[in-house]
């Protein structure tokens, strides 16, 4: 978990590569092979784990994640860097993550 968290904190994808679905460090412990691996439970388990981010509340963690994964804010980055073959899949994944993060945040209120 801590190794994956360190990778996640470092970058959104592997530096120096076109973004592909598989090169992005998604907010889940087990790297997904497709969008079905980006489940609400997997995202919750990874982002809200007690093994990292001590001193941050769950709400702070989710706010940090929303800033990182908000699909509207990342559209320009995705369009500029995504491999054309994976672009729509990446856009869909960002959207799915945003939905899950907003749901998780709503459960904290």
Domain range for 22: 2-108
pLDDT in tens, the chain (109 residues): 778 767 767 766 555 568 899 988 899 999 999 999 999 999 999 999 988 888 899 999 999 999 888 877 677 778 788 889 999 999 999 999 999 999 999 998 6
Classify 13 as helix, strand or coil: strand
State how many domains the chain has. 1
Q: Are 43 and 32 in contact (CB under 8 A)?
A: no
CA atoms within 13 A on the CB side of 43: 25
Q: Which pTM does this prediction carry?
A: 0.84
Helices (H), 1-109: 2-10, 40-47, 58-69, 71-81, 87-108
């Amino acid at each position: 978990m801590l190794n994956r968290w360190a990778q996640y904190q470092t970058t959104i994808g592997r530096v120096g590569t076109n973004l592909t679905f598989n090169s992005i460090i998604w907010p889940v412990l087990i790297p997904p092979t497709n969008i079905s691996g980006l489940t609400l439970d997997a995202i919750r388990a990874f982002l809200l784990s007690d093994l990292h981010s001590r001193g941050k509340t769950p709400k702070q963690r989710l706010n940090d994640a929303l800033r990182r994964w908000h699909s509207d804010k990342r559209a320009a980055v995705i369009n500029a860097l995504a491999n054309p073959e994976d672009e729509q899949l990446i856009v869909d994944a960002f959207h799915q993550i945003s939905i899950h993060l907003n749901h998780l945040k709503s459960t904290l209120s």
